[in-house]
């Protein structure tokens, strides 16, 4: 029982650090993102926190579906508003999917060319 609580405390601490960093540095990114980047950097340099975070993160992933309940409930009640904006939503979804696929193809091609050049 101690490991999940300590892991959750570590995650919340890095979320707080990210929020604080965004305010202090005046960045235009979510604080949670900066916190996770800081956590990634720390874990890349020192893996001692990894066992504590593995327990907590596996539990969070196990119950992730519960975190989507408020979103789907809001979408249910906002149905008419969503339906009015459906063409714009579909356009954004299609364009962003195509851009993501194009970008990933570009990265894969670059990695393949580097790999072929090294061998």
In this structure, what token pair is assigned to residue 10? Answer: 């570590």
Dmax of the chain from CA atoms? Answer: 57
Average per-residue pLDDT in the chain?
87
Q: What is the DSSP string of the chain?
A: -HHHHHHHHHHHHHHHHHHHHHHHHT-SS-HHHHHHHHHHHHHHH-GGGHHHHHHHHHHHHHTHHHHTHHHHHHHHHTHHHHHHTHHHHHHHHHHHHHHHHHHHHHHHHHHHHHHHHH-
Question: Among candidates 10, 99, 118, which has minimal Cα distance to 54?
Answer: 10
Q: Give how far the C-alpha of residue 81 lies from the chain's centroid of Cα atoms, to the nearest Å.
A: 27
- Tell me the percentage of the chain whose pLDDT exceeds 70: 95
Gap between the Cα atoms of 4 and 2, Å rounded: 6
Chain segment 15-63, per-residue pLDDT in tens = 999 999 999 999 999 999 999 999 999 999 988 888 888 888 888 888 8
pTM of the full predicted structure?
Answer: 0.56
């Amino acid at each position: 029982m101690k490991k999940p609580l300590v892991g959750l405390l570590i995650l919340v601490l890095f979320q707080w650090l990210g929020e604080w960093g965004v305010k202090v540095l005046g960045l235009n990114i979510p604080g949670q993102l900066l916190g996770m980047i800081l956590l990634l950097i720390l874990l890349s340099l020192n893996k001692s926190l990894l066992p504590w975070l593995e327990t907590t993160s596996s539990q969070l992933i196990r119950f992730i579906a519960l975190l989507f309940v408020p979103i789907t409930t809001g979408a249910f009640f906002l149905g008419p508003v969503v339906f009015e904006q459906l063409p714009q939503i579909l356009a954004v979804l299609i364009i962003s999917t195509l851009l993501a696929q194009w970008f990933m193809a570009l990265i894969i091609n670059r990695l393949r060319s580097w790999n072929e050049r090294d061998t």
